[in-house]
Structure 1
Amino acid sequence: MAKKLKRIVRREYTKTDVKELRTHSKAKTPVAKIAKQMKRTVGSLRQKALKLGIPLGHMR
């Protein structure tokens, strides 16, 4: 029997998601932690931050 593949469901970023992302950026939260909390991929978060023009992924 073949394994079922998990379907990728795309979700739009809401205003609250963007606000939360900006807050995490200012707090210098690691991207992996943000990804788990927001239930989004690291790549998705990085792309959104790039479009918003905010820094993300602080490795200090």
Structure 2
Amino acid sequence: MAKKVKKIARREYTKADVKELRAHSKAKTPVVKIAKLTKRTEASLRQKAMSLGMPLGHRR
């Protein structure tokens, strides 16, 4: 039997999502925590933050 492939459901970032992401960036919230709150992957969040030109997560 062939394996079922899970279809990736992409969701666009709304203005509210971007606003929330900026707030988390300013608060230095860990990316894992942001991912759970927004129900998005860490990679997705990092890519969006990079495209907006803002740091994200814990910085050393």
TM-score, normalised with respect to structure 2 = 0.88
Equivalent pair of 1:29/1:57 in contact (CA under 8 Å): yes
Structure 2 match to 1:16? 16
Structure 2 match to 1:40? 40
Which moved further from structure 2: 18-27 or 50-59?
A: 50-59
Q: Which runs of 5+ in 1 are unaligned?
A: none
Structure 2 match to 1:5? 5
Which runs of 4 or more aligned residues in structure 1 lie more than 4 Å from their structure 2 counterparts after TM superposition? none
Distance 1:51 1:21 in 2: 12
Q: Secondary structure at the match of 2:13?
A: coil
Q: Which runs of 5+ in 2 are unaligned?
A: none
Q: CA RMSD in A?
A: 1.3
Amino acid at match of 2:43: G
Structure 2 match to 1:53? 53
Q: How many residues align?
A: 60
Identical-pair percentage = 77
TM-score, normalised with respect to structure 1 = 0.88
Distance 2:35 2:42 in 1: 6
